[in-house]
Amino acid sequence: MVEFYDSLLINIAMLYCGVSFITLLTYGYDKFAAESRSWRVSESTLLLLGLLGGWPGAIVAQQGFRHKTRKLSFRRQFWATVVVNMGVLLWLLSPFGARWLQKVL
């Protein structure tokens, strides 16, 4: 179980880094598109990327690009996805969640 748990931690960290990088790039593209009045990335896509583990990249992008920081309804939804993501992460890292995941995989 310890080996599985260590592997789980590494895989989750890699997932968060990868999805965060994609999310950062997506926010950057959306900011560029907003300024040039071209095709935009939907808010639901940005929220889904955050929910899937890209929220650290989204926070960096929001602050770095000054993008999606004013619209209160988006910010509320974004932080709700962070809370849901963290809840799932904490459950997966619990002994019960790790055992369940080990059985599923």
- For residues 57 and 23, what is the distance between their CA atoms, to the nearest angstrom? 6
Domain around 59? 2-104
For the chain, give the number of residues.
105
- For residues 23 and 3, what is the distance between their CA atoms, to the nearest angstrom? 30
Q: What is the value of pTM for the model shown?
A: 0.89
Q: Which residues of 13-50 are buried (b: 16+ CB within 10 A; e: fewer)?
A: eeebeebbeebbebbebbbeeeeeeeeeeeeeebbebb
Instruction: Pick 48 or 5 by higher pLDDT.
Output: 48
Of 2, 52, 1, 63, the C-alpha closest to 23 is 52
Number of domains in the chain: 1
The 10s digit of each residue's pLDDT in 36-89 is 999 999 999 999 999 999 999 999 999 999 999 999 999 999 999 999 999 999
